[in-house]
Amino acid sequence: MRLARRRFLLIAAAAAVLAPARREIWAWHGDALGAEARIELSGERDAAQAALDAVAAEIERLENLFSLHRPASQLARLNRDGVLAAPARDLRAALRLADDWRRRTEGAFDPAVQPLWTAAVAGAPAPLERVRDARIDVGPAEARLAPGTALTLNGIAQGIIADRIAALLLRRGFAAPRIDTGEMRLPGPERRRLRLPAAGIDIEVADCAVATSAPDALRFPGSGHHLFDPHTGLSPERWASVTVIAPAAADADALSTAFAVSMPERIGDLVPAGTLVLATERDGRTRRFGRPSDGVRA
C-alpha cells in the first residue's frame, strides 16, 4: 500500500476518559469509493498500527468489489459484461441489501439508476426505461443482468464499508473508534458531538451511524444534481440536504439517498423505528422525521 494514498499517523495525545494515564489517538487517512475517508482510534501504537493496516486492506478488498471507478472491480465487470461468474459473497450480500431497501422505500432507493448517471454525465436524455425494466439475478454461481441494466452501489456501499470497519475494530478491542468513509459510524458508548453544517444543527450521538445526502455536492450542466428519482429520472430540488441517523451506516446511507428525492409525506411514512431524519429545505428550515435511538440527542 502506498503511503501517499493510505497514511497512518499520530494525531495527538489526549487524556483518557476514565483513566489517569494518557492515551494516544491514531488515524488513518485515505479514500473509500472516491470519498475522503478517515479512521481514528486510541490505543497502544503497535496494536493501532496493525488494526489500521487491516482497515486499509479491508477497504481495498471491498473497493475491488463495489467500485465503479476500477474497471476490474466485480461490479464494473458485471455492468460491462452483463454476467459475472462466482460473484463474491460480499457483493451478493450488498446487492441483496440494496434490493431490500429498494422494496422498503417503495423504489425511492434503487441501485439500477446507474444509466441515469451515465446519461447525465454525457448530457443525454434520461433512459428511464432502463431503470424501470432493470432486472438482476444473483446466485453463488453467477450474477446476471437483463439487457440495458447497469447498477451502482454508491448509495449504500460507503455505509457497508463503515459498518465492516466498525466490526473489525471492535473485534480487535478498540471500544470507540471514529469511522468516516463518506458516511460515519460511531460505535461504542462514548458520547460525541457532531456539527451538521447544512442543517445548522449540533447533535450528540453514541453507538450510531450518520449519513448525509446533499444534492448540491455534484451538479450536471443543465440536468440537475447527482441524486435521481428512480420513478421519474429527474433530480428533485426540494431538499438542500438530508441527514439520517440510524443504528447501521449501510441503512443510514441508503435512506439518506432515498429520502433526498422523496416528498415529506413519504419520508414520514417510510422512516423506520429508531431512525431520525433531519431534512433541510432550500429556504434553510429543517424538518424532523422519526425518532432516534436512546443514544442520540438532536
What distance in Å separates the CA atoms of residue 124 and residue 149, rounded to the nearest whole number?
17
Yes or no: say if 181 and 35 are a contact pair by the CB < 8 Å rule: yes
Closest-CA residue to 56 (of 136, 132, 161, 133): 161
**Across 16-26, average pLDDT:** 56
The residues, ordered by sequence, that sit 6+ positions from 297 with a Cβ below 8 Å of its Cβ are 203, 204, 205
**Across 78-100, average pLDDT:** 98
Is residue 54 a part of any domain in this protein?
no
37-68 tens-digit pLDDT: 999 999 999 999 999 999 999 999 999 999 99
| pLDDT > 90? residue 7 | no
* Burial (Cβ within 10 Å: 0-12, 13-18, ≥19) of residue 107: middle
Is residue 189 a part of any domain in this protein?
no
Q: What is the pLDDT of residue 150?
A: 98
The confidence band for 23, taking pLDDT boundaries of 50, 70 and 90, is low
Yes or no: say if 274 and 118 are a contact pair by the CB < 8 Å rule: no
| pLDDT > 60? residue 192 | yes
Count of beta carbons in the 10 Å neighbourhood of residue 69:
10
Comparison of pLDDT for 297 and 183, the residue scoring more: 183
Q: What is the pLDDT of residue 71?
A: 97
Q: What is the pLDDT of residue 263?
A: 97
Q: Considering its fold, how many domains does the chain have in total?
A: 1
Q: What is the pLDDT of residue 200?
A: 82
35-45 tens-digit pLDDT: 899 999 999 99
Is residue 285 a part of any domain in this protein?
no
Is residue 245 a part of any domain in this protein?
no
pLDDT, averaged across the chain: 90
Is residue 131 a part of any domain in this protein?
yes
Q: How far is CA 67 from the centre of its chain?
A: 13
Is residue 28 a part of any domain in this protein?
no
Q: What is the pLDDT of residue 295?
A: 62
What distance in Å separates the CA atoms of residue 75 and residue 189, rounded to the nearest whole number?
36
The confidence band for 17, taking pLDDT boundaries of 50, 70 and 90, is very low
The confidence band for 20, taking pLDDT boundaries of 50, 70 and 90, is very low
| pLDDT > 70? residue 97 | yes
Strands, sheet with 22-32, edge to edge from the N-terminal-most edge strand:
7-15, 22-32, 35-42, 178-180, 184-186, 208-213, 239-246, 276-281, 286-290
| pLDDT > 90? residue 229 | yes
The confidence band for 161, taking pLDDT boundaries of 50, 70 and 90, is very high
| pLDDT > 50? residue 95 | yes
| pLDDT > 70? residue 197 | yes
Is residue 87 a part of any domain in this protein?
yes
| pLDDT > 90? residue 21 | no
| pLDDT > 50? residue 98 | yes
Residue-number span of the structural domain to which 106 is assigned: 74-145
